[in-house]
Structure 1
């Protein structure tokens, strides 16, 4: 019986075990889940799981996500018993299908959303993450310039793709969708990496407008700060 069947709840107890339990931190991947939950209006509780080994490599967290990455969730309201889930893209698809929101049911429109979601999961997110490591964090001290130059170049290439695809439309796959919820949090990471100049983001007017539209949504504004990190 939930929550007793889930060891993670011993460390992060559920106040209301009848609602979705989100275990996350407000990184670009983490806020995908909280924004989607806010957009859909599903009842949920958010538990702060820091990026420290004490949290993400704890036995409690690994019992839900053996890959030791946030976000992860438990949905006790699923029709055939509780659902355990990790990977931000999988969470977006699951919540979209559960609610019938932000992902077309079938056909070309659905394929278009999933195409751009996978583009973010396999391209934009990993490449910007590597850019952050080699441009701002520990990797910046490596004397060989090739890793840094590779990820600067690949990140700019992906931004060029996105800027072109947004020409003449507000959202990446027609209507607002889980693809947008996946993409824009990673665009915001460029601020954190202090990489706007090196990427030449001033050249991408469509992306700037796209990001502004996304950030103006009330659910986005709320979800970006869930769960609240320490000392915030």
Structure 2
């Protein structure tokens, strides 16, 4: 049985099944990337809910695994060379799990890098911009009298949705016929933008055709439906 005692996070969130991959997360747009991925690839794992509304990601135990204090994070008891590996950053975790299992990442080197560029597109552009729309449209930022910040992030989010709309021309998925980690990285954020953030009209989502159809296809996948609810909120 793997020994995970060297990871301080296991003292706050003990592993009932230390032989399984340990997931520390919450069903946010970033968190569900990893739970969806794990459901898609069928790798056994044990989820632990880290309640960011109670600042649990800023506890010493969580910070010992991710010093940036953000979910998700994982411990793989069977990491490279058979040694346990702790990992944070959702994009890095997606790539790691794809490489570990040989799933949802093209084997061809050129297509692999093409897939990675879309994952990086999500990490560098979509996540930060959509998140700012959420802040200025739904949360405390909406009380700011100066609406220029909201307008800036609204316009950039519209532009990014346009990039996706163009990419999906003639393609069911970001990489064509092959569903991949590129889709997984984006699904939760697009869903959140028009759902939880309530920005559907703000970003003119219904003027698009390919992105809504892609989102519908993605959300219809059973693994996606399961992953969106993991870890279960208490």
Question: Which category of TM-score, normalised to the shorter sequence, fits these structures?
Answer: over 0.9
Contact 2:23/2:73 (8 A) holds in 1: yes
In structure 2, what is the equivalent of residue 162 of structure 1? 164
Q: Where does residue 222 of structure 2 map in the other structure? A: 218
Q: Report SS of the residue matched to 1:193.
A: coil
Q: Tell me how far apart the structure 1 counterparts of residues 96 and 111 of structure 2 sit (CA, whole Å).
A: 17
Per-residue CA deviation, residues 171-197 of structure 1 (Å, 9 max, x unaligned), is 011210000000110001121111111
Give the superposed CA RMSD: 1.0
| Contact 2:4–2:84 (Cα < 8 Å) also in 1 | no
Of the candidates 170, 174, 186, which is equivalent to residue 189 of structure 2?
186
2:43 equivalent in structure 1: 42
1:27: how far off? 0.1
Where has structure 1 moved over 6 Å in runs of 4 or more?
none
Q: Quote the residue 2:175 is aligned against.
A: 173
Structure 1 residue runs of 5 or longer lacking an equivalent are none
Matches of 1:4 and 1:115 in 2, distance apart?
A: 36
Structural mapping, 1:20-39, within 5 Å: 20-39=21-40
Q: Give the whole-Å Cα distance in 2 for the aligned partners of 1:79 and 1:130.
A: 36
User: What is the Cα deviation at residue 107 of structure 1?
Assistant: 2.2
CA distance in 1, matches of 2:108, 2:99: 11
The Cα shift of 1:70 comes to 0.2
The Cα of 1:218 is off from its aligned counterpart by: 1.0
Residue of structure 2 in register with 1:146 after alignment: 148
**CA distance in structure 2 between the aligned counterparts of 1:118 and 1:95, rounded to whole angstroms:** 16
2:144, 2:226 → 1: CA distance? 38
- The offset of 1:105, in angstroms, is 2.6
Is the Cα–Cα contact under 8 Å of residues 18 and 77 in structure 2 kept in the other structure?
Answer: yes
Residue 3 of structure 1 and its aligned partner are, at CA, apart by 1.7
Q: Deviations over 1:140-193 (max 9, x none)?
A: 111111101000000000001101110111001121000000011000112111
